[in-house]
Amino acid sequence: MALGTRRSRERRQRRLHLLLRFSQALAVILTFLGVGVIAYRGAEELARQEVTTLEAQVARLTQQEADMQRENTQLAATLEQARRDMRQLEARYAQDVPRAPFTQFLTAARERLSAGVAAERLVDVIRTAENPRRCEGRGIMRRFAIRFGGTPNAEEGTSFAEGLLRVSVAMPAGAEDIARQSTVSITTTWNGRTETRQGLPQRLSLPLGNLELDLTISASELRGFAQAALASCQRG
């Protein structure tokens, strides 16, 4: 009877020992599982934070890229406008700033104006200037007296082409500046016209049929006289 009791006690002790060892093993397993869960949760939170940070960086960089693209577009538009403005300024400069041969004209005009020649006189000379033509025969030159005071009559001055062309010059009484104060009258009887110009010298081209009369009127070396030269040129 005592033997059965001891064996029964030993069996209980072995079961208790096994249960204890199993409990210890389970506790270790649960501890590892808890540590693993905590570590996993921590790693998951860190990963979530890193993802959130990366998403914020991506959003910021995307916004920066969009801003840079807008800025580049604005800069490109500004550059193109600046190029257009520069082309306009270059065109305006080329139009407004004189270059050769206009600079030569301006220099000569400035010199003549400084010498006292009237601006209207220079304008008339430039307006009537023409390329030289080949004229047949020698030109005719005639000297005539200048009328001082009053208006020349029909017989004063000089005439060409059998009276078809008459030239006269008048000046105010007591005037001495022939270049500025003289009044030149040119009468062409074939068309009944009389043209009046101010100042000497004068040059005109007068069409007459198939001819072009080249008339030059200037002051004579003799005081109180003017002279007129006429050449006949074939019209092309």
pLDDT beyond 90 at 188: yes
Per residue in 76-101, pLDDT tens? 888 899 888 888 887 877 777 667 67
Write down the pLDDT at residue 131: 58
Query: Which amino acid type is present at position 167?
Result: V
Look up residue 126 and give its two tokens.
Answer: 């430039």
The mean pLDDT value of the chain amounts to: 84
pLDDT interval class at 106 (50, 70, 90): confident
pLDDT interval class at 1 (50, 70, 90): low
pLDDT beyond 90 at 165: yes
Write down the pLDDT at residue 219: 95
**What separation in angstroms does the CA of 193 have from each of 63, 101, 153, 190, 232?**
84, 36, 16, 8, 19
Per residue in 21-73, pLDDT tens? 878 877 778 887 877 778 778 778 887 888 888 888 888 888 988 888 888 88
Q: How many CB atoms lie within 10 A of CB 8?
A: 10
Residues 117 and 120: their CA atoms lie apart, in Å, by 9
Per residue in 168-178, pLDDT tens? 999 999 998 99
Write down the pLDDT at residue 30: 81
Write down the pLDDT at residue 211: 83
Domain ranges of the chain: 49-97, 99-129, 134-234
Q: Which of 227, 209, 235 is nearest to 140 (CA)?
A: 227
